[in-house]
Amino acid sequence: MGVLKPFIYSEDARSQADFYIRSLGGNLESVITHGESMGVQNDLQDKVIHMCLSVAGGNYIFMSDSMESNLQGNNMSLNIDYPSSEEAREAFSKLADGGHVIYPFEQQPFGLYLGELTDRFGVRWMITAPSVSTRS
């Protein structure tokens, strides 16, 4: 079975990754710059060509600094499903800092907790949790 690992092209991958790590918990696993991988000695040498971060209990996001203009995050939505509404609410609140809440995080008629937002980098997130904690 395949595993989805989103790849985000960013205007500032280091800042965006730091924000996600602080908001969702996790670690910066690796960073490779253009200078390190290709020996580039110009304006691109410090730009990130590949970055891996683990967030929210072992999910991976790959990132790089974009070399061209792009529309930030408006063509996708990232979803993280947490085992408890408390954990999900905390992540939602942190991601919403400097962003825009589309749907507040609250219990939905169909039984899940759900909140949707666009973070300060323009990436759309759906944060979910079951109505009853799945922790043992």
Q: Most confidently modeled of 36-40, 86-90, 107-111? A: 86-90
The alpha helices in 50-98, defined as continuous H runs, are 85-96
- Which SS3 state, helix, strand or coil, does residue 18 take? helix
pLDDT band at 70 (very low <50, low <70, confident <90, very high): low
- Domain ranges for the chain: 7-65, 77-130
Quote the CA–CA distance of 134 and 120 in Å, as a whole number.
Answer: 30
Instruction: State in words which class domain 77-130 has.
Output: alpha beta
**CATH code, residues 7-65:** 3.30.720
Rounded average pLDDT over 102-126: 91
Tell me: the pLDDT tens digits for 8-28?
Answer: 888 899 999 999 999 999 999
Q: Residue 42 CB: number of other CB atoms within 10 A?
A: 8
User: What is the residue-averaged pLDDT of the chain?
Assistant: 87
Quote the pLDDT of residue 136. Answer: 47
The mean pLDDT of 107-125, rounded to a whole number, is 90
Cα separation, 65 vs 46, in Å, equals 10
How far apart CA 55 and CA 82 sit, in angstroms, is 12
Burial bucket for residue 40 (CB in 10 Å: 0-12, 13-18, 19+)? middle
Strand residue runs (E) in 1-136: 7-10, 26-33, 48-55, 59-65, 77-81, 100-107, 112-118, 124-130
Q: Is the confidence at residue 75, as pLDDT, over 70?
A: no
pLDDT at 29 over 50: yes
- Reference 4, options 110, 89, 81; nearest CA is 81
